[in-house]
């Protein structure tokens, strides 16, 4: 019996029209373009400004483009996974809203929360569902409206984040040596003090106090998170490369989470990869959390060819982290 594997057969993406530049940010907080570019490498980010629109809107736009590009029959999609840290509501799931708007009749849908590592976790889960033989077509969407949890009075964090979404179609194949080849995902559980939102959950529900003290925004100890991210993403990539016989000569692409240009460069250096083989769009989009990796695939799609060896890697709150070996399918 042939082994079933999971492949990506299409990518759709969406970023909002509004561009928040460093120059505009410098009029909001004490910062400037040189400071931001030197430390994180972000020139601008996209912001969803329309009132009443949330993460599900961007996810739906990306999914619609994916359906249009691939020509997939929506009724053939059996599961929809949305990975996000900025759900439209506490409940119902953002995935259920997206499913309803898309009119998917034969799928179940759920959200997966793993912060900036969310796409790797969700794609790994979708691949496992495909490999089980019980599913043939699954849509995975990484989407975050990070502007909704960003404090634009905090000069340390407000330059970092942007909004966006991207969707991939994951399908079954019996073709050998293609698709999701290997993954290494971990959560170390030490990250709470260094990266979190202080209020809004069951430990500290919303109140006048929490709103007045601006506790509903992303809190980050930047130096600690940077150190953990560099170490874990680099180590995870090295592990995946070593156990799959990959090196600078046969890796075609590295697809890193777009959090900080210095982190991306450190990962590339560890793998001895030239930067032209590393997918980078942080300068224009900033950190869109769970959307960064699929957005990179969306932007670079025209440069990819069947059989390309790719290492995907991410790091996020929790701390969550991991790397994945993917052979491109088209």
Model pLDDT for residues 193-221, shown as the tens digit of each residue? 999 999 999 999 999 999 999 999 999 99
DSSP code string of 56-88: HHHHHHHHHHHHHHH---GGG--EEEEE-SS-S
3-state SS of 187-252 is: ECCCCCCCEEECCCCCCCCCCHHHHHCCCCCEEECHHHHHHHHHHHHHHHHHHHHHHCCCCCCCCC
Each residue's pLDDT tens digit, 218-251 = 999 999 999 999 999 999 999 999 999 999 999 9
Catalytic residue status for 287: yes
Each residue's pLDDT tens digit, 34-51 = 999 999 999 999 999 999
| Average pLDDT score over the chain | 97
Q: What is the pLDDT of residue 290?
A: 98
Nearest Cα residue to 273 out of 302, 243, 253, 290: 253
Q: What is the pLDDT of residue 266?
A: 96
Looking at the predicted structure, is the pLDDT value of residue 55 above 70?
A: yes
Looking at the predicted structure, is the pLDDT value of residue 122 above 70?
A: yes
Looking at the predicted structure, is the pLDDT value of residue 169 above 80?
A: yes
Q: β-pairing, 309-316 with 253-256?
A: parallel
Looking at the predicted structure, is the pLDDT value of residue 1 above 70?
A: no
Options 22, 287, 309, 321, the catalytic residue: 287
Nearest Cα residue to 302 out of 323, 326, 284, 328: 328
SS3 46: strand
Sorting pLDDT into bands at 50, 70 and 90, what band is 2?
A: confident
Each residue's pLDDT tens digit, 295-322 = 999 999 999 999 999 999 999 999 999 9
Q: What is the pLDDT of residue 153?
A: 96
Options 116, 232, 237, 260, the catalytic residue: 116
Measured CA to CA, the distance from residue 54 to residue 61 in angstroms comes to: 12
Catalytic residue status for 116: yes
Nearest Cα residue to 159 out of 151, 168, 167: 151
């Amino acid at each position: 019996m042939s082994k079933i594997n999971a492949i990506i057969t299409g990518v759709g993406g969406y970023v909002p029209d509004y561009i928040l530049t460093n120059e505009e940010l410098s009029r909001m907080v004490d910062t400037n373009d040189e400071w931001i570019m030197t430390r994180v490498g972000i020139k601008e980010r996209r912001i969803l400004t329309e009132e009443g629109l949330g993460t599900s809107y961007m996810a739906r736009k990306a999914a619609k483009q994916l359906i249009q590009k691939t020509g997939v029959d929506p009724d053939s999609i059996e599961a929809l996974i949305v990975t996000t840290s900025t759900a439209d509501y506490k409940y119902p799931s953002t995935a259920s809203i997206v499913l309803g708007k898309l009119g998917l009749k034969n799928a179940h849908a759920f959200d997966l929360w793993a912060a900036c590592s969310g796409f790797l976790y969700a794609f790994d889960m979708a691949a496992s569902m495909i490999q089980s033989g019980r599913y043939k077509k699954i849509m995975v969407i990484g989407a975050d409206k990070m502007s909704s949890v960003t404090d634009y009075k905090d000069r340390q964090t407000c330059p970092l984040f942007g909004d966006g979404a991207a969707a991939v179609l994951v399908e079954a194949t019996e073709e050998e040596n293609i698709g999701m080849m290997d993954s290494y995902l971990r959560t170390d559980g030490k990250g709470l003090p260094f990266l979190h939102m202080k209020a809004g959950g069951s430990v500290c529900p919303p109140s006048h106090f929490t709103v007045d003290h601006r506790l509903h925004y992303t809190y980050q100890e930047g130096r600690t998170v940077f150190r953990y991210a560099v170490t874990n993403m680099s180590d995870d990539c090295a592990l995946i490369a070593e156990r799959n016989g990959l090196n600078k000569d046969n890796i075609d692409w590295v697809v890193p989470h777009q959090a900080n240009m210095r982190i991306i460069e450190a990962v590339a250096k560890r793998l001895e990869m030239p930067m032209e083989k590393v997918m980078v769009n942080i300068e224009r989009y900033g950190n869109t959390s769970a959307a960064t990796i699929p957005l990179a695939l969306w932007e670079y799609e025209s440069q990819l060819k069947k059989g390309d060896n790719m290492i995907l890697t991410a790091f996020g709150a929790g701390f969550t982290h991991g790397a994945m070996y993917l052979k491109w399918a088209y």
